Chain A
Amino acid sequence: MNAARAPLIGRSVERKEDHRFLTGVGQYTDDIVLPGQSYGFFLRSPHAHARIRSIDAGAARGAPGVLAIFTGEDLAGIGGLPCGWLIKSVDGTPMKEPKHPVLAEGKVRHVGEQVALVVAESAAQAKAAAALIEVDYEILPAVVETAAAAASGTAVHDLAADNVCYTWSIGDEGAVTAAFARAAHVTTLRLVNNRLIPNALEPRAANAAHSPGDDSYTLYVTSQNPHVERLLMTAFVLGIPEHKMRVVAPDVGGGFGSKIYLYAEETALVWASKRVGRPIKWTAERSESFLTDAHGRDHVSTAELALDAQGHFLALRVHTTANMGAYLSTFASCIPTILYATLLAGQYATPHIYCTVQAVFTNTTPVDAYRGAGRPEATYLLERIVERAARELRIDPVELRRRNFIRKFPHATPVGLTYDTGDYDATLSRVIDLADVAGYAARKQASAAKGLLRGLGYSCYIEACGLAPSNIAGALGARAGLFEAAEVRVHPTGKVTVFTGSHSHGQGHETTFAQVVADRLGLSLEDVDIQHGDTGKVLFGMGTYGSRSLAVGGSAIVKALDKIISKGKKIAAHLLEASDADVEFEHGEFRIAGTDRKKAFAEIALAAYVPHNYPLGTLEPGLNENAFYDPTNFTYPAGSYVCEVEVDPLTGKVRVDRFSASDDFGNVINPMIVEGQVQGGIAQGIGQALLEGCRYNEDGQLLTGSFTDYALPRADDMPALAIELAPGTPCTHNPLGAKGCGEAGAIGTPPAVINAVLDALAPLGVTDIDMPATPHRVWEAIRRHAR
């Protein structure tokens, strides 16, 4: 029966997880109420930078329902929240790592920093009591602007008087200088990569409980990587034995990076749960999400591209200032370095690249990875400057790109990466068809007849995903391994539960991974369940980020499946009285090669657990295998996007009329899910390009602190998207040939949109605009040139 079944891999099967979400029985962290539940509320700093003279919680302690109030003094003995990546400056000195306290100690350094934790019988009582706490602040000048931070004269931290966390570089400066000296043309560009606020729709939440019986803790938390959360919190902050804590990340309502990190709130809750003797729950209000979820991007860069007379790229020189915010979040330091500057070759064979990155502290919310993390910043810079060079040299932008594409693989870039495979001509050609570029001139004319300006923009992106070879990451400063773990547990009836260290918070792992498992074992999708997100169930895991789940987590599952099949062959050989080497496994059956003697997978499973006729002398009973997979290289998803916009010159309003994408993700397991990932990524990319911009005033007050001030794309902001998954060049170094798809849309989209806007505005003489290209900005740019 199984032999006839068509493969599940490559099919858009409906998602196994959808039923619970659609019927309202999913279980998110805030849905969980524990026996004896109490509630926490964090009193937060209203100032961007201030010295705390005193805190008077006397009145609050007597307020109705209050169980306890804690401040930084109570937690002074415990560690700060650690940063997971050590970056060294060009002079060899380690980055500045000021303590990131769980509750503010002596000073506050950004609006929203947690100053006190109030625990009460209800959330409303905790919030009401917090309003009674009197904090005497001595307000200090705030450092806000990224580009001005190093020269501001005010220090965010005493140990970084100039606010510089590190100054880092990559590439051969001498070779770049020499190449510029012989350039026929140099294109320069200064640009800002706008600061974004991730805004997963589920606000962060945590619920921590202490069990006095064995002095252990259970933490339910909105996390993308519960094992990392546990390791960091126990070993580096609270000093709790790691095995005395269970972290559960149940259904999680979107992450986009913002739920990778170890945050102060859950750490304070765990610590306080033992002192209070009751479980404590905290759920962020949206305004708290805006103030305290790690933000993304926030770069100010200058770039110069040297070209020869034929339009070949000779060298690229970049200087970037990156905002870290007030403290180093968990992976903050590696984002504008390891995940940014290493991508500056893009799809091009540029022989020499040199990039310096200055990371600065400011009195703003910490900045860390947000969907794409460094790679959108690199792609935006590169695809903007390539488009500008094409315009300056009057070369068709497609032609200029093709002239510089990498075509031989493997390809070692001058910034540390070796691309294993790709076909950039193919994705560019496909997207040109998909976008009907041939019909563009007619559409432009039709727009002009309506008094509208039409523009078309390209973007060819590459990303490094599948993080990461642990030894390479370690050499680059990672303080963790970046493998993934899996366990395949075959039950006596032949049903299978797979435990994965990857975490699904929308990605559909319960379906995609089950497709892989069901195909390999010849089972039906219903016979396979995927479990994730619980340190009490899953052996270990590095979690989900950097489009790594299938490429790394999926590969770990495949490794474990190989072990299952290998053991199954030994059991089958015994039962069939043959030698191990003669047994083959296909379509769920162990068969002696060339005969019809066979055993079904379920028969082998039963034999493993009821080992009456079993080689007990040489083989353990049971059918359960673990595997850890550590990749040997990054994966390199790539593609080409085309965006077509219509601009109303009277209002400055930009409408995305058409958007086309051709992506090469290598082998694809579930095209429906993969296209969904691209659609969501493109929406966030259009958001960055046209709508979303985090703004602070000069005092460090967040001006965009709600959905009424910070514009997320809504249904009517989005065009219908044309997405095609290219036949693809499979990844050469993981068993699934998968590259990863989660971030591509957010990486490739912003430059396509801005290039289209600038193309539309080019007849008016506009050559530059920063994101987000809001109607106001576009209108101003038009007006500046009209004068």
Chain B
Amino acid sequence: MAVPIELTVNGKTVAAEVEADTLLSSFLREHLRLTGTHIGCDTSSCGACTVHVGGRAVKSCNVLVAQLHGSEVTTIEGITPRDGSLHPMQAAFKACHGLQCGFCTAGMVMSAIDLLRHHPHTTDEEIRAGLEGNLCRCTGYQNIVKAVAMAAKAMGRQRP
């Protein structure tokens, strides 16, 4: 059964008719072709598909797009500045080598931004606990933790 929905994705209004069982992850990837959001599992375990809904990190494989009528969704494409520069979290991941194959990266960055938004002064231990929902098979997490700590400083400066 198709249902009409209207929501905001990366600041743009999107209106569509979708099957009622369409997941946000497939809506983003297949309908909107926003392929920066990745799908790494089928049990909501890996966090590769993490996006922001109403400013909170959400695993997009675990939400029906039909639930999101009127919501604001932001993906990795949406947090990237339009001038070719990087969000402080993206820049920190680059500076700290917080990514290797890049597949978990978008979800990791989206989770980390949410983490810092709610816990701007985190310890390394809290960062590890805060990213517990995102799997990375490449980095051993060491440089991800380093990146988030670096971004915390940069973002703290940005928004005192």
Q: Which residue among B94, B132, B138, B141 has the maximum number of chain A CB atoms within 10 Å of its CB? A: B138
B37 touches A201 (CB 8 A): no
- A24-B77, A720-B124 known; A708-B43 Cβ under 8 A: yes
Question: Cα distance A12–B100 when bound, in Å?
Answer: 14
Q: Are B41 and A707 in contact (CB under 8 A)?
A: yes
A696-B80 Cα distance, complex, nearest whole Å: 44
Question: Quick one: closest B residue to A677, CB to CB?
Answer: B100
Taking CB atoms, residues of chain B closer than 8 Å to A682 are 140
Identify the stretch in B1-9, B64-72, B101-109, B152-160 within 8 Å (CB) of chain A at 4 or more residues: B101-109
Which listed residue, B76, B106, B138, touches A254 by the CB 8 Å rule? B138
Kindly list chain A residues whose C-beta atoms are within 8 Å of the C-beta of B90.
Answer: 22-23
Q: Give the interface SS of chain A, mostly helix, strand, loop or mixed.
A: loop
Indicate which residue in B45, B76, B101 contacts A202 across the interface (CB closer than 8 Å): B101
B102 touches A253 (CB 8 A): yes
Q: Is the CB of B140 within 8 A of A721?
A: yes
Please tell me which one of the listed residues A505, A507, A683 contacts residue B141 in the complex, with CB atoms under 8 A apart: A683
Q: Counting CB contacts under 8 A, is B58 at the interface? A: no
For A199, list chain B residues within 8 Å (CB): 137
Chain B residues within 8 Å of A499, by CB: none
Interfacial chain B residues near A27, Cβ < 8 Å: 35
Contact between chains at B137 and A201 (CB < 8 Å): yes
CA distance A679 to B145 in the complex (A): 12
- CB-CB under 8 A for A505 and B35, given A24-B75, A708-B43: no
> Which chain A residues lie closer than 8 Å to B77 at the CB level?
23-25
Task: Give the residues from 89 to 122 in chain B that come closer than 8 angstroms, CB to CB, to chain A.
Answer: 90, 93-95, 97, 99-106, 109
* In-complex Cβ contact of A715 among B80, B94, B131 (8 A): B131
Residues of chain A with a CB closer than 8 A to B36's CB = 23-26
Q: Which B residue sits closest to A285, measured CB to CB?
A: B42
The chain B residue sitting closest to A12, CB to CB, is: B97
Given contacts A22-B94, A707-B46, A708-B43, contact A252 B76 (CB under 8 A): no
Given A24-B75, A199-B137, A200-B137, check contact A286 B41 (CB 8 Å). Answer: yes
Please report the C-alpha to C-alpha distance between residue A588 and residue B157 in the assembled complex, in whole angstroms.
Answer: 42
Bitwise, A679-691 to B at CB < 8 A (1) or not (0) is 1111110000000
| A254 x B103 contact (CB < 8 A) | yes
- Interface flags, A34-48, vs B, CB<8A=1, else 0: 000000000000000
Is B57 interfacial (CB 8 A cutoff)?
Answer: no
Q: Are A24 and B142 in contact (CB under 8 A)?
A: no
Contact (Cβ within 8 A) B140 A706: no
Contacts A506-B102, A679-B142, A716-B129 given; indicate if A707 touches B86 (C-beta within 8 A): no
What is the CA–CA distance of A683 and B100 in the complex, to the nearest angstrom?
14
Docked-complex contact B86 and A716, CB < 8 angstroms? no
Within 8 A of A (CB), among B36-90: 36-43, 45-46, 48, 75-77, 80, 86, 90
Q: Does A450 have its Cβ within 8 Å of any Cβ on chain B?
A: no
Chain B CB within 8 A of A712 CB? yes
Q: How would residues 244 to 261 of chain A score, 1 for a CB under 8 Å from any chain B CB and 0 otherwise?
A: 000000011110100000
| Complex contact A28–B94 (CB within 8 A) | no
The answer to whether B80 and A23 have CB atoms under 8 Å apart is yes
Q: Given the known A-B contacts A24-B75, A201-B101, are A680 and B139 also in contact in the complex, defined by CB atoms under 8 Å?
A: yes
Contact between chains at A708 and B45 (CB < 8 Å) = yes
Query: Counting CB contacts under 8 A, is B135 at the interface?
Result: yes
Given contacts A15-B94, A203-B40, A715-B144, contact A253 B101 (CB under 8 A): yes
Question: Which residue in chain A gives the minimum CB-CB distance to B131?
Answer: A715
B43 adjacent to A714 (CB under 8 Å): no
Shortest Cβ distance from B83 into chain A, in angstroms?
12
Closest residue on chain B to residue A707 by CB atoms: B45
Q: What's the Cα separation between A254 and B139 when bound, in Å?
A: 11
In the bound assembly, the distance between CA atoms of A745 and B137 in angstroms comes to: 13
Most buried by A among B94, B103, B140: B140
Verify if B34 is at the interface (C-beta below 8 Å from A).
yes
- Residues of chain A within 8 A of B136, CB atoms compared: 201, 715
Contact string, A699-727, partner B, CB cutoff 8 A, digits 1/0?
00000001110001111101011000000
- Measured between alpha carbons, how far is A613 from B2 in the docked complex, in Å? 70
Encode contact with B along A10-26: 1 for CB under 8 Å, 0 otherwise: 00101101111111111
Cα–Cα distance between A720 and B37 once the two chains are bound (Å)? 28
Task: Give Cα distance in the complex from A287 to B132, angstroms.
Answer: 21
Select from chain A the residue with minimum beta-carbon distance to B110. Answer: A24
> A582 on the interface (CB 8 Å rule)?
no
Given A23-B80, A676-B97, A201 contacting B86 (CB threshold 8 A): no
CB neighbours (8 Å) of A285 from chain B are 42
For B19, give the chain A residue with the smallest CB separation.
Answer: A124
A740 to chain B, nearest CB (A): 16
Contact of B128 among A203, A683, A716 (CB under 8 A): A716
A285–B61 CA distance with the chains assembled, in angstroms:
12
Per the bound structure, the CA–CA distance linking A18 and B128 in Å amounts to 22
Q: Which of A23, A33, A506 has the most CB of B within 10 A?
A: A23
Cβ B128 vs Cβ A673 within 8 A: no
A131 on the B face (CB < 8 A): no
- A256 to B139, alpha carbons, bound, how many Å? 12
Contacts of B106 in A (CB 8 A): 24
Tell me how far the C-beta of A293 lies from the nearest C-beta in chain B, rounded to whole angstroms. 12
Say if the beta carbon of B127 comes within 8 Å of chain A. Answer: yes
Give Cα A506 to B77, complex, Å: 21
Contact (Cβ within 8 A) A714 B103: no
Which residues of the partner chain A approach B100 to less than 8 Å between Cβ atoms? 254, 506-508, 676, 680
Chain B residues with CB under 8 A of A706: 41-43, 45
- Cβ-defined contact, B137 with A23, below 8 A: no
Q: Is the CB of B94 within 8 A of A286?
A: no
Q: A673-B97, A707-B45 are in contact. List 17 more A-B contacts (CB 8 A).
A: A21-B99, A21-B101, A22-B76, A22-B99, A24-B37, A26-B102, A200-B101, A201-B48, A201-B135, A202-B38, A251-B101, A251-B102, A254-B138, A286-B41, A287-B42, A675-B97, A680-B100
27 pairs, A vs B, C-beta closer than 8 Å: A15-B97, A18-B99, A21-B105, A22-B99, A23-B36, A23-B77, A23-B80, A28-B35, A33-B33, A201-B38, A201-B101, A201-B137, A201-B138, A203-B40, A254-B103, A675-B97, A676-B143, A679-B139, A679-B140, A680-B137, A681-B140, A706-B43, A707-B43, A707-B46, A707-B135, A715-B136, A716-B125
Interface residues of A (CB under 8 A from B): 12, 14-15, 17-28, 30-31, 33, 199-203, 251-254, 256, 285-287, 505-508, 672-673, 675-676, 679-684, 706-708, 712-716, 718, 720-721, 745
